[in-house]
């Protein structure tokens, strides 16, 4: 075969070579081989396994941290309760400055005994060693209740209810009704007991609001319009401009209630000093703490406080808030001062 024949034969074979090459490429793209398919499955399983491991780890971490997160949230709510109680410390508390507290009736006159003498108001029964009124409105008692050498219980007086101010009594001889700025004054059976502090500071009267005394019951004073100085009227005699109504205080007790060997409830009691209202509540839970972590330190006094009147107007309270397993989630320490 000469050179010319070879060239002609090669040219005639080019279409066949091209078709064979194209066919091989197409067949290669038509699907995976068995090896390629198994490799792809293996890679997919590895990816799914990695995702599963990551998810399980994240879920385990979430489950481990969930009790701590819940405990921190509960601790923050507990601090709000403590802040509220101490913000009311000393509010509406008269001091024992020889001003008697007389019982007043609706027309402004004082209730008297059979001899015509005004009747002194008397508080509800109190624990031994605690008297009312105290020498100082911001009196408190820090005590070692469980005998471990540190203060773990505190008592103080606080008004938890409404207040109101007499703006004026426009009728002759200050006859009712009088205009009053009411901040949650109410005749509700649990909160109808009030002290009336005279504007000149010379008298304190005890009065139980009747259902028809207030034109508007339990109204707020925060949304008072700018051109208004009062928001309701009161149909009670014997009042003068500047007199202040204040809900009779409670005795507050903050202490520990053991749950088990590791944890306790931070708890408070409230004892209503007004027997006509008798709004008492015992063992109200504030939050879960490490057992024995509650400590009350009178500022300026490092020793255990004896039962009696304490002159300091500041106290430091600390406690370790824990989760349900007893793990410390939040260490609380704060000074409350007046």
Question: What is residue 3's predicted lDDT score, i.e. its pLDDT?
Answer: 53
DSSP assignment letter at 137? T
Q: How many residues does the chain have?
A: 338
Q: Is 19 exposed, middle or buried (0-12, 13-18, 19+ CB in 10 A)?
A: exposed
How does pLDDT run along the chain (338 residues), one tens digit per residue?
555 555 445 445 544 454 445 445 544 555 667 777 677 787 888 888 778 777 776 666 556 556 678 888 899 999 999 999 999 999 999 988 778 999 999 999 999 999 999 999 999 999 999 999 998 999 999 999 988 889 999 999 999 999 999 999 999 999 999 999 999 999 999 999 999 999 999 999 999 999 999 999 999 998 887 778 999 999 999 999 999 999 999 999 999 999 999 999 999 999 999 999 999 999 999 999 999 999 999 986 544 444 444 446 899 999 999 998 899 999 999 999 98
Question: What is residue 65's predicted lDDT score, i.e. its pLDDT?
Answer: 56
How far apart CA 299 and CA 335 sit, in angstroms, is 8
How far apart CA 93 and CA 197 sit, in angstroms, is 10
Cis amide bond preceding 133, omega within 30: yes
* Model pTM score: 0.78
Question: What is residue 43's predicted lDDT score, i.e. its pLDDT?
Answer: 83
Question: What is residue 61's predicted lDDT score, i.e. its pLDDT?
Answer: 56
Q: 92-125 b/e with 16+ CB inside 10 Å = b?
A: bbbeeeeeebbbbbbebeeeeeeeeebeebebbe
Following DSSP, what letter does each residue of 233-282 receive, concatenated?
Answer: EE--SS--TT-EEEEPPEEEEEEEEE-SSSEEEEEEEEEES-TTT---EE
Instruction: From 248, 246, 247, 252, select the one nearest 126 (Cα to Cα).
Output: 252
Which pair of tokens denotes residue 338? 């007046």
């Amino acid at each position: 075969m000469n050179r010319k024949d070879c060239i002609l034969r090669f040219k005639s074979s080019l279409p066949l070579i091209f078709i064979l090459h194209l066919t091989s490429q197409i067949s290669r793209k038509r699907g995976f081989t068995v090896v390629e398919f198994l490799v792809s499955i293996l890679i997919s399983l590895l990816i799914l396994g990695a995702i599963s491991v990551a998810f399980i780890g994240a879920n385990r971490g979430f489950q481990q941290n969930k009790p701590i997160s819940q405990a921190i949230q509960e601790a923050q709510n507990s601090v709000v309760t403590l802040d509220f109680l101490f913000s009311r410390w000393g509010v509406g508390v008269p001091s024992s400055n020889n001003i008697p507290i007389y019982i007043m009736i609706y027309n402004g006159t004082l209730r008297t005994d059979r001899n015509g003498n005004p009747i002194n108001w008397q508080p509800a029964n109190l624990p031994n060693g605690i008297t009312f009124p105290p020498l100082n409105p911001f009196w408190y008692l820090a005590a070692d209740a469980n005998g471990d050498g540190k203060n773990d219980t505190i008592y103080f007086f606080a008004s938890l209810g409404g207040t109101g101010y007499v703006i004026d009594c426009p009728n002759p001889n200050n006859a009712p009704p009088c205009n009053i700025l009411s901040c949650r004054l109410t005749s509700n059976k649990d909160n109808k007991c009030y002290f009336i502090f005279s504007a000149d500071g010379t008298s304190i009267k005890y009065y139980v609001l009747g259902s028809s005394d207030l034109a508007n019951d339990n109204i707020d004073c925060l949304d008072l319009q700018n051109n208004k100085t009062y928001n309701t009227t009161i149909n009670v005699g014997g009042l003068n401009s500047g007199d202040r109504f204040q809900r009779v205080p409670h005795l507050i007790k903050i202490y520990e209630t053991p749950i088990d060997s590791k944890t306790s409830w931070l708890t408070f009691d409230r004892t209503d000093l007004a027997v006509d209202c008798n709004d008492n509540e015992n063992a109200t839970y504030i939050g879960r703490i490490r057992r024995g972590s509650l400590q009350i330190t009178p500022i300026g006094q490092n020793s255990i406080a004896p039962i009696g009147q304490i002159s300091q107007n500041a106290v430091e309270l600390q406690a370790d808030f824990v989760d349900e397993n007893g793990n410390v989630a939040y260490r609380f320490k704060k000074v409350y001062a007046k």
